[in-house]
Amino acid sequence: MKPLEIRKYPDKVLRKPAVKVEGISEKEVKLFNDMLYTMGHFYGVGLAAPQVGVSKCLIVADIGEGPVKLANPQIIKTKGTGKMKEGCLSVPGIDIEIERPYEILVSALNEFGEPIELKANGLLARVIQHEIDHLNGKIIIDYLKFLDRIKCGLRLKK
């Protein structure tokens, strides 16, 4: 199996809000599985469909506790906050400290098209939030101050 291509900043697909899916067909199931394979191949813990050039609201995550596959994920409740450095397969070589809620409740469709609610905390909560950012056209450098973002952009172009 060959991994999908990871789109890198400043690829325009990373800035485009993803489109909600109407349901889960064989096409979405295949994409979920291809994304999980690609994520593992590149040693990631999360991946959003726009990162592989598909503008759909699909994310996958695996922090070592088994794969999570979510369509149209929405955070409906948060609790606590914490800071942690985050990296991104689409912004290689850059780690940025980001403050995010520590615990989240997410509503989504699972890989079978069934509506679910998922409670996540710690690293899994962080990964899901990071991937939801991708679905909204937001990437980790957006958390930087303006001048730091410019410096980061110059570093990435080299």
The span from the CA of 85 to the CA of 155, in Å, is 18
One of 28, 86, 111, 131 is an active-site residue; which one? 131
The span from the CA of 47 to the CA of 89, in Å, is 8
The span from the CA of 135 to the CA of 70, in Å, is 12
Q: Evaluate the CA torsion angle 122, 36, 141, 152 in order and state its sign.
A: positive
User: Among this protein's residues, is 114 annotated catalytic?
Assistant: no
* Length of the chain (residues): 158
The span from the CA of 148 to the CA of 117, in Å, is 37
The span from the CA of 123 to the CA of 148, in Å, is 25
Supply the residues annotated as catalytic.
131
